[in-house]
Chains A and B, each alone.
Chain A
Amino acid sequence: MLEVRELSKSFGGLKAVDQASLDVRQGEIVGLIGPNGAGKTTLFASIAGFHTPDAGRVVFNGQDITGLPPHRICTAGMVRTFQITQPFAKISVRENIMVGTYLHTADRKVAEHEAEAVAGMVGMAGQLDQMGADLTVAGRKRLELARALATGPRLLLLDEVMAGLNPTEITEIVQVIRDIRDSGITILLIEHVMQAVTSLAERVYVLNQGRMIAEGTPAAIADDPQVVEAYLGHGAAKVLRA
């Protein structure tokens, strides 16, 4: 469904993403992990059209979308969320979500109806009239998810939707993400909360210093010496094994 081939993106002299490739197949939940500053968010932004890649290709559903603007990519069925939540502060949750549902209907009643359905799906049915600015961190994360879902995507790119949440909230949102996948939406997620990645993702990619260093099931990844070293430092794998 999504093919990223040798994508590179530099800022000044810094190679944020260096020839990274990944594949996401229909119906999967795929994780993208890596230490801080590994280039995960840059890779996401480059896939979703927020950055123009310096090199490489992004193919979505057989269509080359490299360098297309975000709104075109969104219309094609791929939508991202932001790690730093970006709610529309001065309008209600319902109106926030309606911005998403308006993508495929100009009818206000339909948009409103669909927004309420989406809110139900992420557990925000009771907060429809709250202002974007008045939400808690968990509420903002859910809203971020809801708005993206509202655009009717086939592939959802989630950037650290669990960061800053407490364990109960994480359990809840993990279930929401499972439900979303079961409704037929493919998911690629960046995540720091390892427990969540292990329980959600079927396959995991590991990015370190802009390069893709490993790919596999969560269990295989956790045993990969290269991955352990990326997180814990050079030589760590040997020490742990000893």
Chain B
Amino acid sequence: MSRQAVLCAVGLGIAVIYPLLAPNYLINVGMMVFFVAFIGQSWNIAGGFAGQTSFGHVVFFGTGAYTSTILQVTYGWNPWLAWPAAMLAGGIVGWIIAFLSFRAGLRGSYFALITLAFAEVFRILANSVPFTRGGLGMLIKADQRPINFQFKDPIWIYYIALALCMISLLIAWRLTRNRFGARLVAIRENEDAARALGIDVFAEKVKVLTLSGAMCAAGGTFYAQKYLYIDPSIAFGVDKSVEMLLVSMVGGAGTIFGPLIGSVALTVINEVTRWLASVVPALKNVQPLSLVVYGIMLVLIVARLPDGLMGLFRRKPRHA
């Protein structure tokens, strides 16, 4: 077994044992780490691997959250069944956005801006159409039984988040080793060269955004089941988009572990600054302190570590 494989196994072992020893509060923190790493990975697959930077990824998150919640609340579906339906909806939205944007030839920052616009349109729609109950938001009836995707013990939701994160890591790992992934990287590095080498750039970009959209939508359903409440600004708020982008960039966009490492780093910063703000009187009025630190960190990363924290461990590419 390679050193990387051993490290991964040890890491997974710790992640599995951790909630058995940690208090509930820290189990929740761990759950958030894996959840954010998961939605971050959905961004990373499109933004990091394929270079299709989106500023509005939350559009898929919200589509997933609303789809499963509406199916559940309005139509009485079981949430476990509504989950794949939500992923399907996220995939369809991804496909549509990709089809429209890439057919129009939007690249780089133009694509980023159009995704932001889509997310805003969805937020406004969710605020105004009747079936989302507008700004009131939607409440999922609390009934804490596993069959309802609701759990008394936070350990289960933690394990689900861990499983999602693992699946997303596996998907990213596959992308580093298969043809689809190689083509995405080629498109990111140089679209014209990719085209000359026989890659159907449009089709591959649509494919990756569909996959990314479906993944992110799965995160939306998970979030709705955890908090049992969504409203337009939670489900389609720009801060979630930023979070997904931020963890990937901080950890290392286009790397397998980037979003996970970024998520750990940002969560640690978040918790430490919260604690600092509570004990240092001078910092009490800097609210929230974590955003200030995020900002500084992003500037430093972009300027000094364009490959993110993963760039610190960068070694020569290995080959089997």
Q: How many Å lie between the Cα of A90 and that of B316 in the bound state?
A: 11
Contact A82–B193 (Cβ < 8 Å): yes
Segment 268-320 of B: residues with Cβ below 8 Å from A? 316-317, 319
Q: How many Å lie between the Cα of A71 and that of B190 in the bound state?
A: 14
Tell me if B198 is interfacial: C-beta within 8 Å of chain A.
yes
Q: How many Å lie between the Cα of A182 and that of B173 in the bound state?
A: 40
Contact B196–A48 (Cβ < 8 Å): yes
Closest chain A residue, CB of each to CB of B200: A71
Minimal beta-carbon separation of B64 from chain A (angstroms): 30
Produce 1/0 per residue, A61-99, CB < 8 A to B: 000000001110011000111100011111110110011
Given A91-B185, A94-B319, A129-B317, are A148 and B197 also a contact pair (CB < 8 Å)?
yes
Q: How many Å lie between the Cα of A148 and that of B193 in the bound state?
A: 10
Pull 26 A–B residue pairs with CB atoms less than 8 Å apart, ordered by A. A70-B196, A71-B200, A74-B197, A75-B198, A82-B193, A86-B190, A88-B193, A90-B189, A91-B189, A92-B317, A94-B319, A99-B182, A99-B199, A102-B182, A103-B198, A106-B178, A108-B178, A108-B179, A111-B179, A112-B319, A129-B316, A129-B319, A147-B197, A148-B196, A148-B197, A151-B198
Given A99-B182, A103-B198, A108-B179, are A82 and B189 also a contact pair (CB < 8 Å)?
no
Given A71-B201, A89-B189, A95-B317, are A80 and B179 also a contact pair (CB < 8 Å)?
no
Contact B192–A99 (Cβ < 8 Å): no
Contact A50–B192 (Cβ < 8 Å): yes
Contact B197–A99 (Cβ < 8 Å): yes
Tell me if B194 is interfacial: C-beta within 8 Å of chain A.
yes
Closest chain A residue, CB of each to CB of B201: A71
Tell me if B32 is interfacial: C-beta within 8 Å of chain A.
no
The binding surface of chain A is classed by DSSP as mixed
Interface size on B, residues (CB 8 A): 22
Interface size on A, residues (CB 8 A): 35
Selected contact of B197 from candidates A79, A94, A106, A129, CB within 8 Å: A79
Residues on A with C-beta less than 8 A from B178 are 106, 108
Question: Top 7 closest A-B pairs, CB basis?
Answer: A74-B198, A88-B189, A86-B193, A103-B198, A99-B186, A70-B195, A102-B179
Segment 30-76 of A: residues with Cβ below 8 Å from B? 48, 50, 69-71, 74-75
Residues on B with C-beta less than 8 A from A129 are 316-317, 319
Residues on A with C-beta less than 8 A from B197 are 74, 79, 99-100, 103, 147-148, 150-151
Residues on B with C-beta less than 8 A from A82 are 192-193, 196
Produce 1/0 per residue, B157-187, CB < 8 A to A: 0000000000000000000011100110110
Given A91-B317, A95-B182, A95-B317, are A71 and B195 also a contact pair (CB < 8 Å)?
yes
Minimal beta-carbon separation of B98 from chain A (angstroms): 17
Q: How many Å lie between the Cα of A98 and that of B200 in the bound state?
A: 16
Given A88-B190, A89-B189, A112-B319, are A106 and B198 also a contact pair (CB < 8 Å)?
no
Q: Which residues of B contact A (CB under 8 A)?
A: 177-179, 182-183, 185-186, 189-190, 192-201, 316-317, 319
Produce 1/0 per residue, A124-149, CB < 8 A to B: 00000100100000000000000110
Q: How many Å lie between the Cα of A95 and that of B320 in the bound state?
A: 13
Residues on B with C-beta less than 8 A from A50 are 192, 195-196
Given contact pairs A86-B196, A88-B189, a sample of 10 additional A-B residue pairs in the complex whose CB atoms are under 8 Å apart = A71-B195, A71-B198, A74-B198, A86-B193, A90-B185, A99-B199, A100-B198, A102-B179, A102-B183, A147-B193
Residues on A with C-beta less than 8 A from B316 are 129
Closest chain A residue, CB of each to CB of B307: A90
Residues on A with C-beta less than 8 A from B192 are 50, 82, 86
Contact A99–B195 (Cβ < 8 Å): no
Q: How many Å lie between the Cα of A106 and that of B185 in the bound state?
A: 16
Produce 1/0 per residue, A201-215, CB < 8 A to B: 000000000000000
Minimal beta-carbon separation of B193 from chain A (angstroms): 4
Minimal beta-carbon separation of B256 from chain A (angstroms): 15
Selected contact of A71 from candidates B199, B317, B319, CB within 8 Å: B199
Minimal beta-carbon separation of B149 from chain A (angstroms): 36
Residues on B with C-beta less than 8 A from A75 are 198
Given A94-B319, A108-B179, are A88 and B186 also a contact pair (CB < 8 Å)?
yes
Q: How many Å lie between the Cα of A82 and that of B194 in the bound state?
A: 12
Q: How many Å lie between the Cα of A95 and that of B183 in the bound state?
A: 10
Residues on A with C-beta less than 8 A from B199 are 71, 99
Minimal beta-carbon separation of B49 from chain A (angstroms): 11
Q: How many Å lie between the Cα of A100 and that of B198 in the bound state?
A: 8
Residues on A with C-beta less than 8 A from B201 are 71
Minimal beta-carbon separation of B305 from chain A (angstroms): 14
Q: How many Å lie between the Cα of A91 and that of B192 in the bound state?
A: 16
Given A79-B197, A88-B190, are A99 and B177 also a contact pair (CB < 8 Å)?
no
Q: How many Å lie between the Cα of A103 and that of B183 in the bound state?
A: 10
Q: How many Å lie between the Cα of A88 and that of B195 in the bound state?
A: 12
Selected contact of A79 from candidates B182, B194, B198, B200, CB within 8 Å: B198
Residues on B with C-beta less than 8 A from A86 are 190, 192-193, 196
Closest chain B residue, CB of each to CB of A112: B319
Which of B177, B190, B194, B197 has the most C-beta atoms of chain A within 10 angstroms of its own C-beta?
A: B197
